[in-house]
Structure 1
Amino acid sequence: MNQVEALQAALAGEHAALYGVGVAGGKLSGARFRAANETFESHRDNRDRLSALLVAAGETPVAAEPAYDLPRAVVNTATASGLILVIEQRIAAVYGDLVEAAEQPAVRAFAIESLLAAASNQLSWGGAPQPFPGATP
C-alpha cells in the first residue's frame, strides 16, 4: 500500500467512524454523550485533514457512503459504548497502516498522533491497553 492508498483508506475509515459515533451518540447522555461528541469532533477534524492532504497530493478524496453497516445493534448505553470501542479499534488499525505507508514526515507524524489518540480513546471506551495499538494479527 502506498501513501495515497493509505490516506484514502484512513479517510474512508473516518467517514465510517463519523457515521458510527453519530449513531452511538444517540443512545448516550450526560458525560458519555459529551465524550462521544468530543470523539465525533476529533474524527471530523481528522477527516478534514486527510481530505486536505489528498487534495494537496492532487487526488480526489474518497466520498462517504450514504450509510454503513454497523457491527452490532445500538440499543442502549452499553451497546453504544461498545460500538465506539470497536470503531476506535478499527481506526487504530487504519492509522497503523498509514504510519507504515507514509512517505512524508508530516503525514507520518499525523498518522502517529491519530494512532495514539485512537489508542487513548479505546481506554476511555472500555478497552484494555495494547502493547502495539493498531497492529492487526
Structure 2
Amino acid sequence: MTQLEALQAALAGEHAAMYGVGVAGGKLSGARFKAATDCYEQHRDNRDHLSALVVAAGETPVAAEPAYDLPQAVTNAATAAALVLLIERRVAAVYGDLVEAAEQPAVRAFAIESLLAAASAQVAWGSAPVAFPGAV
C-alpha cells in the first residue's frame, strides 16, 4: 500500500467514523454524550487534516458516502457505546496501515498520534488495553 492509498483509506475511515459516532451520540446523554461529542470533533479534525494531506499530494480526497451500513443496531446507550468502541478499533487499524505506509516523517507522526488517540479512546469506551493497537 502506498502512502497516498493509506491516506485515502484513513480518510474513508474517518468519514465512516463521523457517521457512526453521530448515530451513537443520539442514544447517549450526560458524560457519555460529551465524550461522543469530543470523539466526533477529533474525527472531524483528523478528516480535515487527512484531506489536506491528500490535496497536498495533488490528489482529490475520497468523498464521504451519503450513509453507511452500521455493523449493529443502535437502540440504547449500551449499543451506542459498543458501536463507538468498534469504530475506534477500526480507525486504529487504518492508522496502523498509515504508520506502515508513511513515507514522510510528518505523515508518520500524525498517523502515530492518531493511532494512540484511537487506542486511548478504546479504553475510554470500555476495552482493555492491547499490546499492539491497530494490529489486525
TM-score, length-normalised on structure 2? 1.00
- Alignment partner, residue 18 of structure 2: 18
Letter in 1 for 2:84: I
How far apart in 1 are the matches of 2:63 and 2:91?
17
Letter in 2 for 1:113: E
Letter in 1 for 2:77: T
Which blocks of at least 5 consecutive residues in structure 2 are unaligned? none
Alignment of 1:101 onto 2:101: yes
Q: CA deviation at 1:76?
A: 0.2
Q: CA deviation at 1:112?
A: 0.1
Alignment of 1:41 onto 2:51: no
Alignment of 1:84 onto 2:84: yes
Identity, % of aligned positions = 80
The DSSP-based 3-state class of the residue aligned with 1:75 is coil
- Alignment partner, residue 66 of structure 1: 66
Which blocks of at least 5 consecutive residues in structure 1 are unaligned? none
How far apart in 2 are the matches of 1:83 and 1:127?
12
Q: CA deviation at 1:127?
A: 0.7
Q: Which string of whole-angstrom CA distances, capped at 9 and with x for unpartnered residues, describes residues 8-52 of structure 1?
A: 000000000000000000000000000000000000000000000
Q: CA deviation at 1:114?
A: 0.1
How far apart in 2 are the matches of 1:58 and 1:135?
29
Indicate the RMSD between aligned Cα atoms, in angstroms. 0.2
- Alignment partner, residue 56 of structure 2: 56
Letter in 1 for 2:20: G
- Alignment partner, residue 75 of structure 1: 75
How far apart in 1 are the matches of 2:83 and 2:128?
15
Q: How many residues align?
A: 136
How far apart in 1 are the matches of 2:89 and 2:77?
18
Large movers: runs of 4+ above 4 Å = none
- Alignment partner, residue 9 of structure 2: 9
